[in-house]
Amino acid sequence: MKTILVIGASSFVGTYLISELLQSKEKYRIIGTGRNPKFKQYYEQLGVDYIYLDIDDENAFANLKKYQIDQVVLCAVRMPANIGENEDDDLMDYYNTNVISTCRLLEFCRKNGVERLIAFGSRFDTRLYPPTYTVTEQSPLNFSYTDDHAGYVLSNIAKQQVLTYYNEKYGMKNIMFRLPTIIGLGPHGFYNKDGVPTKSGLQIFIDNAIEGRNIEIFGDPETLKDWFYVKDLAIAIRQSIESDKAKGFFNIGYGHNFTLIEIVQAIVDVFSPKERKSQIILRRDLSNNGFFSPLDISQITENVGFMPQYGDPKKIFLDYKKELERGVYSQLFVNHQ
């Protein structure tokens, strides 16, 4: 039985990943870490060990040797959406959390026989490509040094290079995913934009649909969005854990993007009451936050065997609604709303 360490088990992705691993045909011993004590009771009920760990602590990994870990999934990151209103958007903080902590973790892995570290980056490193361009793993970087994701992007580039270094020099099988926009029921009804709490577009759409209110689409309704369901990401991570050979840098997603009108229509179909269906109002006079280029996923399909289960907006939001009614994730992340 493999032992999997999930660093950031109280995070959005970490929580869904552990659920996926527990439902897998393969049996795993799972060790989860985090800083939120609320998750301890939740995980103990599932038979998952949950321990306090702060990756910014230079001695954070010293007490992990006793667990005889086989693979590590690093879900704990510093990113713009998590920076509070009174916090500085400091480049050094991004490097300390996303790069230096990863270096310390990789050294722990190397010295203790851990074969693989799985980590995550962002498609903001190719943000400036046009919507007609399909981003591959070999695409040149193309991003803004002045937007609020610049520090995050720069630290992710360095993290990828460090992971590659350990693969090449020490024969590890580290994997890094370039992530699109991850959606699902969790803590992201609000996010921080330049440090200011902001209600997400997805949450606005769903709230309006549930109440049967009109839903406005700003700008071009055919604007392409790279939304990717968190459960499909969890599947891809599990399949990567199970792979004997996969290593390196992979795009993840559906291989195509959804239009805004497709997304909103699916939300209306799933959440809006039959007796008072929300009407979709097109506001072409107002701007939206723009498109994202599609990510080519041929490499992860070929090397990991990834096949998504939720490949269209209707499937995504039907499952989202099921989780909303089940209430588990709503309760876990209630303090984030």
Rg of the chain over all Cα atoms, to the nearest angstrom? 20
Residues 127, 120: Cα–Cα separation, whole Å: 16
Residues 199, 53: Cα–Cα separation, whole Å: 29
90-101: average pLDDT:
95
Residue 187 confidence (pLDDT): 84
**What tens digit of pLDDT does each residue of 102-123 get?**
999 999 999 999 999 999 999 9
Residues 188, 173: Cα–Cα separation, whole Å: 31
Residue 5 confidence (pLDDT): 98
**What tens digit of pLDDT does each residue of 218-237 get?**
999 999 999 999 999 999 99
291-313: average pLDDT:
96
Residue 188 confidence (pLDDT): 72
DSSP-based three-state secondary structure for 80 = helix
Contacts of 291 by beta carbon, 8 Å cutoff, 6+ apart: 131, 223, 224, 225, 257
Is 71 a residue whose pLDDT tops 50?
yes
Residue that has been written with the tokens 């506001």 in this structure = 283
Main-chain dihedrals φ then ψ at residue 175, nearest 5 degrees: -130, 140
**What tens digit of pLDDT does each residue of 80-91 get?**
877 666 666 789
Residue 148 confidence (pLDDT): 87
Residue 162 confidence (pLDDT): 98
**What tens digit of pLDDT does each residue of 249-297 get?**
999 999 999 999 999 999 999 999 999 999 999 999 999 989 999 999 9
The pLDDT > 70 percentage for the chain reads 95
State if pTM tops 0.75. Answer: yes
CB 201 within 8 A of CB 267: no
Residue 199 confidence (pLDDT): 81
Kindly state the greatest CA–CA separation across the chain. Answer: 63
What are residue 218's DSSP bridge partners? 283
Q: What is the DSSP string of 62-74?
A: GGGGGG--SEEEE
What the chain holds in terms of domains, given with CATH numbers, is 2-184+227-254+293-310 (3.40.50.720)
Residue 274 confidence (pLDDT): 93
Residue 337 confidence (pLDDT): 39
The region of weakest confidence among 75-84, 165-174, 191-200, 202-211 is 191-200
Is 176 a residue whose pLDDT tops 70?
yes
Is 63 a residue whose pLDDT tops 90?
no
* Run of H or E residues at 4: strand 2-7
CA nearest to 211, candidates 267, 278, 279: 278
**What tens digit of pLDDT does each residue of 122-161 get?**
999 999 999 999 999 999 999 999 988 999 999 999 999 9
Main-chain dihedrals φ then ψ at residue 135, nearest 5 degrees: -80, 125
**For the chain, what is the mean pLDDT?**
93
Q: How many CB atoms lie within 10 A of CB 43?
A: 21
* Higher-scoring residue by pLDDT: 196, 16: 16
* Cα torsion angle, 25, 26, 31, 34, sign: negative
CA nearest to 310, candidates 259, 235, 240, 222: 235
